[in-house]
Structure 1
Amino acid sequence: MHPYKLILLTLFLSFAFLATSKASANCEQSCSLKSVTEQVREHALLNQFKQTKRIAILSKPLVSTGYLLVSDELGVVWQTSLPLKGTIVIENDSLKQFNKHDQAVSAPANTNQQASQLITSTFLAILAGDFEQLERNFSAELICDETQWQIQLQAKHDDMRRLLTDITIIGNTNIQQLIFSEANGDTTELVFIPFEDPAIEEALGLYFVR
């Protein structure tokens, strides 16, 4: 597998956030990217996630679970707990990876930096609710009904289309689900549930200073 594909797969196995919430009766009235952005930015600090990765050549999906810590000031810690522990720390200008023993793991020397940076910036923009940045690389269509909103992002440029064709973001007052469609036909679905556990939150926060 090409090194940048390894980074891409790791990122797909290692991103996103947020929570379920009460349905809004006024969803239709607030159906705009601006209002959705404001909702998304009021996100939960700690979330559990379930990820389902469907690979075209495999008959069964790959399922993983874990925790996501989101800090507006520091960045994101995404830790897979099952089937195998692994941790990724994403900050504005860096990405750190740790194995199941919490040992730092370096990306291959010949990794496609442009591709990995493009993927990283896209996911950080989703986490931040920065749809203005997303619209540089994607066209956005927003659909609302009485219970939720959905944003469909279609890749505009060849550099992005070689990696991702589209992203679906589904939520209410926060993001509940993300679906990524890759150019090779693979898809990744992420579902998020808010979670409160001070011990887990503290342990994940320590990765920011490693």
Structure 2
Amino acid sequence: MVKTSCKLVILVLSMVFCATYANAVQAQNTQVGQIFKQLSTAPTVRANFQQQKKLASLNKTFISNGTVLFSKQYGVLWQIQKPVQASLIVTPQKLVQKTQRTYSQIEIDKSPYGSVATMFLQLMSGNEAALAKNFNIVSAHYSPTQWNVTLTPKTSLFKKLFDRVEAQGQRYVDRIVITEKANNSTTIQFSQHNTQPAQLMASEDALFKLAK
């Protein structure tokens, strides 16, 4: 009789645990869906950015800043102003870097760094399906005024580059922190978001055409 009672207790506890876990997963999936749905609503977003790159081996932090344009139709355009002036154009197919004197391009699928660049495009566009191919979503929280999500690499390619990606924001992406290998990290802070003008300016359109 005692053994039977114990079995029943274990069975009930197991059912409660499974139900709790299932509810937690469902709740997280709902949170994730809300985050990416919100990010996917704006076809064009412009912002200022500051990037801090910490290299543990050198005990140094390198800072760069400029502007970024996200276009759901075309891709992401990073225009670096300091410490050097350069444009970085990212589309689903190509990664192009242009300065006053140099120009280079690579196919996205032929470089691990091209894949990392595409991650920003997928995150900013709220493309959950594309991100899910390369990342596990380990935590997510959404509210109308603040959201955050933590990703870990799923594929061997990304596992070689970094350990974790954390993003947070309000209406748009405000901050991305990439924890890399060898205790290195990259933090990108976005500010002064603007959805206007909705159409590309002539200079922006010319840069995106380089990546066709």
Q: TM-score scaled by structure 2?
A: 0.72
Out of 81-90 and 124-133, give the one that drifted further: 124-133
1:142 aligns with 2:140: yes
Q: Distance in 2 between matches of 1:208 and 1:96?
A: 9
Alignment partner, residue 127 of structure 1: 124
Query: Could you say what secondary structure the match of 1:139 adopts?
Result: strand
Alignment partner, residue 188 of structure 1: 186
Alignment partner, residue 118 of structure 1: 115
Out of 145-154 and 86-95, give the one that drifted further: 145-154
Alignment partner, residue 33 of structure 2: 34
Output aligned runs, 1:32-181, within 5 Å: 32-43=31-42, 45-99=45-99, 101=100, 103-106=102-105, 113-140=110-137, 141-144=139-142, 147-181=145-179
CA RMSD, 1 decimal: 2.8
Q: Residue type of the partner of 1:161?
A: K
How big is the shift at 1:117? 4.1
Query: Could you say what secondary structure the match of 1:84 adopts?
Result: coil
The answer (yes or no) to whether the contact 1:46–1:70 under 8 Å persists in 2 is yes
Out of 150-159 and 120-129, give the one that drifted further: 120-129
Moved over 6 A (4+): none
The answer (yes or no) to whether the contact 2:136–2:154 under 8 Å persists in 1 is yes
Q: Residue type of the partner of 2:159?
A: R
Q: Distance in 1 between matches of 2:129 and 2:175?
A: 20
Q: 1:114 to 1:98 in 2, by over 3 A?
A: closer
The answer (yes or no) to whether the contact 1:79–1:88 under 8 Å persists in 2 is yes
Out of 123-132 and 139-148, give the one that drifted further: 139-148
Query: Could you say what secondary structure the match of 1:61 adopts?
Result: strand
How big is the shift at 1:31? 6.0
Query: Could you say what secondary structure the match of 2:37 adopts?
Result: helix
Query: Could you say what secondary structure the match of 1:45 adopts?
Result: strand
Q: How many residues align?
A: 177
Alignment partner, residue 4 of structure 1: none
How big is the shift at 1:195? 5.1
Identity %: 20
Out of 161-170 and 112-121, give the one that drifted further: 112-121
The answer (yes or no) to whether the contact 2:148–2:168 under 8 Å persists in 1 is yes
Q: Distance in 2 between matches of 1:202 and 1:194?
A: 22
Which whole-Å deviations, capped at 9, do the CAs of 1:154-187 have from their partners, x for residues lacking one? Answer: 1223322111211001011211100111123211
Q: Residue type of the partner of 1:127?
A: M
The answer (yes or no) to whether the contact 1:36–1:173 under 8 Å persists in 2 is no
Greater helix share, 1 or 2? 2
Q: Distance in 1 between matches of 2:152 and 2:57?
A: 24
Q: Residue type of the partner of 2:131?
A: L
Q: TM-score scaled by structure 1?
A: 0.73
Query: Could you say what secondary structure the match of 2:117 adopts?
Result: helix
How big is the shift at 1:58? 2.5
Which runs of 5 or more structure 1 residues have no equivalent in the other structure?
Answer: 1-27
How big is the shift at 1:72? 1.5
How big is the shift at 1:151? 0.3
Choose 1 or 2 for highest CA Rg.
2
